[in-house]
A and B are shown apart, each in its own frame.
Chain A
Amino acid sequence: MIPFRYQHANDIADAVALAGRLNDAQFIAGGTSQVDLLKEGVQRPTVLIDIFRIGLSEITDLQGGGLSIGANVRNSTASDHPAIRERYTAIAEALHAGASQQIRNMASMAGNLLQRTRCPYLRDPAQRCNKRDPGSGCAAVEGFNRMHAIFGQTDEGAQSQRTCIAVHPSDMAVAMAAHEAVIVIHSSTGERRIAFEDLHRLPEHDPSRDTNLACDDLIVAIELPAFNGTSHYLKVRDRASYAYALVSCATAVEMDGDRIASARVALGSVAHKPWRLFAAEALLQGERPSEELFRRAAEAGLEGARTYSMNGYKPDLARVLVARALSETTGLTPLQGPAGTAFAASVGGIAGVIEES
């Protein structure tokens, strides 16, 4: 760990001003992502600005039926909030299926979106990693890449300074992508809103940047647009609880009679950002739900996937998840557990004999 100064911000303006004034300042909210990375010497701020005392912890209804979630709302508060559970079910499910209860109790909504990739090479300063040390190369391409990207990655070889095949690890972000959340930001230039799609970015020429935020951009809230449909999240992982996704899928479907008015489908752990399947979405619009349709949508969505030595399973798994999530969302097949809980989201459920009703 590299020594740094630690400072509380008093309010939004203070936080933004501090971040703009001080070189290499970083925010810390719950710290569950930040502290690990500080200890590993991956994050090297000179000042850590604690924003956990500036409020931003309300969940409020928006005019027109949407919901605004403060940046500092705890993950555990959001996951159990009735409005989120009922109207934005995928988000509640994604939260419940992520991390552990202790971590969710500390973790903030903004921090969750901005957590860094779990690519193990990022966390070991002895390894080449363009994301941590730009220009050092990417050890994952020829190394351990079982968890890595199949879409949108930059791969110009292990030595290239542009290469990065990491995936974004957040579960909640995938559900937010399907709900087309809007990010509310304060910075030295005032307040602005950006589409969820524009929050995270692909590695492109600069893998060191995860998002399109500037260093004094403070997320103050996440706004969820009104939604009159059903959303759902499915996650497959190596362990039944407390593990990042191998692949996950969020769906948000609005119906018009017996036809799909709009469907949004996003995959997690397949790209440097939550990965919307626009081709699949286009195919679904205006159609009647059917298993066959969902399989075709999954096929279309997975076109163009590019795999590595260890992650060849991902397209197959993603196809299954897309079709299954759509089928469960539209009621063709029942959920595995109560909507809005980890039991609905966790593929395979938990060990033991569960009462079969």
Chain B
Amino acid sequence: MSFTESALKLFHLGEGPPDRSKRFAAIGRDLPRVDGRAKVTGTATYAAEWPVENLVHGAVIDSEIARGTVRSIDDSVALAAPGVLAVVTHENAPRLASYPKKGAGFPLTGEGGLGEVRQPLQDPTIYYGAQSIAVIVAETSEQARFAANLVKVEYDVQPPELDMDAASWTTRPTEFSGGEALQRGDESVEKALEGAPVRLEREYENPIYHHNPIEILASIACWEQRGGKDRLLLYDTTRSVDMLRDVVCHSFGLPLDCVHIVSKFIGGAFGSKAWTYHNPLLVALAAKVAGRPLRLEWRRQQVWSIGGHRPAQRHRLRIGAEPDGHMRALHHWTRQHSSMISGYTEYGSRMTKMMYAVPELGFTNELAHLNLPSPSVMRGPGFLTGGWALETALDELASELSIDPIELRLRNYAEIDPDTGLPFSNKHLRDCYDRGKERFGWDARHAKPSTQRIGRDLVGYGMASAMHPAAQQEASATVTLHADGTATARSATHELGNGSYTVFRQIAADGVALPIERVTFDLGDTTFPKAPPTHGSITTATVGPAVLDAATDAIAKLKDLASKDRASPLHGAKAERIEARAGRLHLFGDPATGEDYGTILRRAGVQEVTGKADVKPGLERMRYAFYSFGAVFAEVRVDSDTGVVRVARLCGVYDCGRLINPRTARSQLMGGMIFGLGAALTEETIFDPVNGLPVTRNLADYHVPACADTPDITIEVLNIPDPHIGELGAHGVGEMGTNGVPPAIGNAIFNATGHRLRSLPYTPDKLIKAYRHG
């Protein structure tokens, strides 16, 4: 029986194939999150909750226009209001260095860069609606908010540019985030398209989406003078303490050791709470003016403009194929908007470039700069929407050619990555299709659309492929063994609901061979070993190896102590001959000859020993293409008169390396799938087409899916460790689940109704229009 087969026999989460490595006891176990109790009892401390003495509060004033300049700000009435201490505007704010070009190695500026290239309160220019233009500082947040109403702002207004297709400033950025090419294709793609016997050309469009995590943006900034230097302690909702520290130090001209950033719990981010936005800098600036520690919690209404978003996009997919479905050429054109001060490019062809074995591949990513707020990454950047367009186009091709959608995908199955020409490190997508087909009951699908009914509802089945890069970055960690037989691990990563506290504790525990109860893991602090931003679903695969290696290093140091100690039963033993097990070191095959960690440390006269590791991806990245894969299936019921869509069933089968913790992984995947369901059916942000101000400004109008929108979700993970990604063999799963859900639902709607919707979200009005116009 092949490894894949044996894995498949135990497909249920938590029942993955037995671990080959004896070393792993906690890793791979289905454990509850270690911070669950703290979260539900309110003892987990979020950014706005740190007890700080002598605190003052801020409220931010938003611009009421989307383009122009602030002519004057009259704050005289506000300053006279009770409790008001200061009004900080571009006229009196301290100057900051210009926006940094890079952060944590990523380009922040320029076309394709990630940042909003603007320092707060430095000049009167308005680039987008509801831009932060002043901060009121007061003794209480109520006083600050009230006084914010009393400030009179006058503007010189210019008409905002709001139409992606009529934008006066458009570009074709060359690289996404400094790495992946954003443009490809030449004559040969066009020729292949023209010459193909079957040609399909379709346009798709998706709206703006907002992350909307429960916890809103917030910071507390505390300045102090110590040793003749300005020092800043910043509590922030950031999911990148190290990168934010770089940006803060650069902006305020401070050395690294003068800025300390803490972020212990984040109430969800989904791509927001990026390091690249001005909110923490604004708070630090205002605190400086106030001369006291300052807390600022943004209002929900304000995150629609300052928190980033997934931009609206138009996609044009062109496919040239053989009558048997083999694709000969594929081109994906995307246009999206960014702001006037950001080059962020939602990379529409991110999935198209690597998913199928197409000899002639091309893509174009165009950027239209508008007077809209700056977009940002959002869970599944490029994949969720671009992948939706691709997987919908494939379904259209399958239906045109009367080929089963899974069969069409198998005919175009990529054994090597068409983008790089490298083999995939760990691809078992065929197994995902097979398992999904079986668990979902794909065979019951009616190939002919609009032929299955239950009462007034049309029933449809749809599927789509899913993928996500299994990226890794550099990270460091320390693991300290204490004389009392416990261990603490540290790395400056983040807990944003992803389970970091839990999985890294598991990894550290196995690394030092201690039961998990005796190990803690701490994060979210710039004084800890460096870690990258929590993004791109890299965290487990990046910080995990650092924690494991640091733990291994701690054990090596302990072995060294024991072997050099004459009084130890392990005196003189070679490290390779010593095994760590259940808090003891002993000789291999001879458990009696050994002693526990505490005894070794105490006799050596030390309280602890610390292992360190700095890891980074190596040459394997040049030999293999690292991706996770999946197959997603949906059954929908569509009301044949009102166009109301309900998802009856969702099923996702994923191939994403080894699961460190099936329970937290399952939560991530399920949350991701519901995220995708929201994008497919209910979520959409509107900016006013005339004045550019955000119109959707609250959670009553922005519809994240409710329980009633969410069916039972079947999730299966192959749980096959990636042999090329270190001892852990793990990929991240944070964004994987989002991918594939929107097209699976849309394809199911087509199967149910015979109407192809090419615009997200699939709200009733769109189907009503389709019913009417055929």
B701 to A317, Cβ gap below 8 A? no
Stretch binding the partner chain, chosen from A8-16, A122-130, A173-181, A204-212? A122-130
List chain A residues, Cβ under 8 A from B682: 238-239
Report the bound CA distance from A243 to B639 in whole Å. Answer: 18
B697 to A316, Cβ gap below 8 A? no
Per-position binary interface string of chain A over residues 298-333, scored 1 when its CB falls under 8 Å from any chain B CB and 0 otherwise: 000000000000001100110011001000000000
* A219 to B: closest C-beta gap in Å: 24
A146's contact among B635, B706, B765, by CB below 8 Å, is which?
B765
Q: Once A and B bind, how many residue pairs between them come within 8 Å at the CB atom?
A: 124
B708's contact among A40, A139, A240, A321, by CB below 8 Å, is which?
A240
List chain A residues, Cβ under 8 A from B688: 127, 139, 143-144
Given A238-B763, A320-B642, A348-B637, A123-B768 contact (CB < 8 Å): no
A317's contact among B64, B697, B706, B768, by CB below 8 Å, is which?
B768
B642 to A118, Cβ gap below 8 A? no
Report the bound CA distance from A356 to B689 in whole Å. Answer: 45
Q: Which residue of B lies closest to A236 (CB)?
A: B642
Report the bound CA distance from A348 to B752 in whole Å. Answer: 14
* A329 to B: closest C-beta gap in Å: 16
List chain A residues, Cβ under 8 A from B645: 348
Counting CB contacts under 8 A, is A55 at the interface?
no
Report the bound CA distance from A123 to B696 in whole Å. Answer: 10
Given A238-B764, A239-B705, A352-B648 contact (CB < 8 Å): yes
For window 336-350 of chain A, which residues contact chain B by CB distance below 8 Å? 346-350
List chain A residues, Cβ under 8 A from B647: 351
Report the bound CA distance from A300 to B411 in whole Å. Answer: 54
* A312 to B: closest C-beta gap in Å: 8
List chain A residues, Cβ under 8 A from B641: 320, 324
Counting CB contacts under 8 A, is B772 at the interface?
yes
Contact size range, B: 35 or more
Report the bound CA distance from A312 to B763 in whole Å. Answer: 14
Counting CB contacts under 8 A, is B125 at the interface?
no
Q: Which residues of B contact A (CB under 8 A)?
A: 62, 64, 129-130, 142, 145-146, 149, 301, 454, 635, 637, 639, 641-649, 681-682, 686, 688-691, 693, 695-698, 700-701, 703, 705-712, 763-765, 768-769, 771-772
B149 to A2, Cβ gap below 8 A? yes
A238 to B703, Cβ gap below 8 A? yes
For window 1-45 of chain A, which residues contact chain B by CB distance below 8 Å? 1-3, 40-41
List chain B residues, Cβ under 8 A from A118: 700-701
Q: Which residue of A lies closest to B650 (CB)?
A: A351
A41 to B149, Cβ gap below 8 A? yes
Report the bound CA distance from A352 to B765 in whole Å. Answer: 22
* B549 to A: closest C-beta gap in Å: 44
Q: Which residue of B lies closest to A320 (CB)?
A: B641
A313 to B646, Cβ gap below 8 A? no
Per-position binary interface string of chain A over residues 236-275, scored 1 when its CB falls under 8 Å from any chain B CB and 0 otherwise: 1011111110100000000000000000000000000000
Report the bound CA distance from A239 to B702 in whole Å. Answer: 10
A-B contact pairs, 14 of them (CB 8 A): A41-B149, A118-B701, A120-B697, A143-B688, A143-B695, A236-B642, A239-B708, A239-B709, A240-B709, A243-B703, A350-B708, A351-B711, A352-B649, A353-B648
Report the bound CA distance from A242 to B639 in whole Å. Answer: 19
Per-position binary interface string of chain A over residues 87-98, scored 1 when its CB falls under 8 Å from any chain B CB and 0 otherwise: 000000000000
A239 to B712, Cβ gap below 8 A? no
Given A139-B690, A144-B686, A238-B763, A123-B646 contact (CB < 8 Å): no
A1 to B706, Cβ gap below 8 A? no
B686 to A239, Cβ gap below 8 A? no
* A298 to B: closest C-beta gap in Å: 11
B709's contact among A241, A321, A356, by CB below 8 Å, is which?
A241
A348 to B705, Cβ gap below 8 A? no
B146 to A349, Cβ gap below 8 A? no
B693 to A126, Cβ gap below 8 A? yes
List chain B residues, Cβ under 8 A from A52: none
Report the bound CA distance from A357 to B129 in whole Å. Answer: 53
Known: A1-B145, A126-B62, A351-B648. 4 other contacts (CB 8 A): A144-B688, A348-B646, A351-B646, A353-B712
Counting CB contacts under 8 A, is A233 at the interface?
no
A143 to B644, Cβ gap below 8 A? no
B706's contact among A40, A126, A144, A239, by CB below 8 Å, is which?
A239
A127 to B648, Cβ gap below 8 A? no
A240's contact among B301, B642, B646, B691, by CB below 8 Å, is which?
B646
Counting CB contacts under 8 A, is A142 at the interface?
yes
A351 to B142, Cβ gap below 8 A? no
Counting CB contacts under 8 A, is A151 at the interface?
no
Q: Which residue of A lies closest to B63 (CB)?
A: A126
Counting CB contacts under 8 A, is A121 at the interface?
yes
List chain A residues, Cβ under 8 A from B696: 120
* B706 to A: closest C-beta gap in Å: 4
A124 to B693, Cβ gap below 8 A? yes
Report the bound CA distance from A347 to B637 in whole Å. Answer: 12
Report the bound CA distance from A351 to B697 in whole Å. Answer: 26
B698's contact among A41, A123, A146, by CB below 8 Å, is which?
A123
B690 to A350, Cβ gap below 8 A? no
Given A239-B703, A243-B703, A348-B645, A313-B765 contact (CB < 8 Å): yes
List chain B residues, Cβ under 8 A from A241: 706-709
* B709 to A: closest C-beta gap in Å: 5
Per-position binary interface string of chain A over residues 126-146, scored 1 when its CB falls under 8 Å from any chain B CB and 0 otherwise: 110000000000010011101
Q: Which residue of A lies closest to B62 (CB)?
A: A126
Q: Which residue of A lies closest to B689 (CB)?
A: A143
B649 to A353, Cβ gap below 8 A? yes
List chain B residues, Cβ under 8 A from A126: 62, 64, 129-130, 693
Q: Which interface residue of B129, B145, B454, B637 has the most chain A CB atoms within 10 A? A: B637
Q: Which interface residue of A142, A347, A348 has the most chain B CB atoms within 10 A? A: A348
List chain B residues, Cβ under 8 A from A146: 765
B642's contact among A127, A242, A317, by CB below 8 Å, is which?
A317
List chain A residues, Cβ under 8 A from B649: 352-353
List chain B residues, Cβ under 8 A from A348: 637, 639, 642, 644-646
List chain B residues, Cβ under 8 A from A351: 646-648, 708-711
Q: Which interface residue of A240, A320, A321, A346 has the most chain B CB atoms within 10 A? A: A240
B772 to A316, Cβ gap below 8 A? yes
Report the bound CA distance from A243 to B696 in whole Å. Answer: 14
Report the bound CA distance from A94 to B764 in whole Å. Answer: 20
Q: Which interface residue of A2, A41, A238, A356 has the most chain B CB atoms within 10 A? A: A238
Q: Which residue of B lies closest to A349 (CB)?
A: B646
A246 to B764, Cβ gap below 8 A? yes
Report the bound CA distance from A72 to B691 in whole Å. Answer: 41
Q: Which interface residue of B301, B645, B695 has the most chain A CB atoms within 10 A? A: B695
* A310 to B: closest C-beta gap in Å: 8
Report the bound CA distance from A356 to B701 in whole Å. Answer: 33
Q: Which residue of B lies closest to A314 (CB)?
A: B765
A124 to B765, Cβ gap below 8 A? no
Report the bound CA distance from A300 to B639 in whole Å. Answer: 24
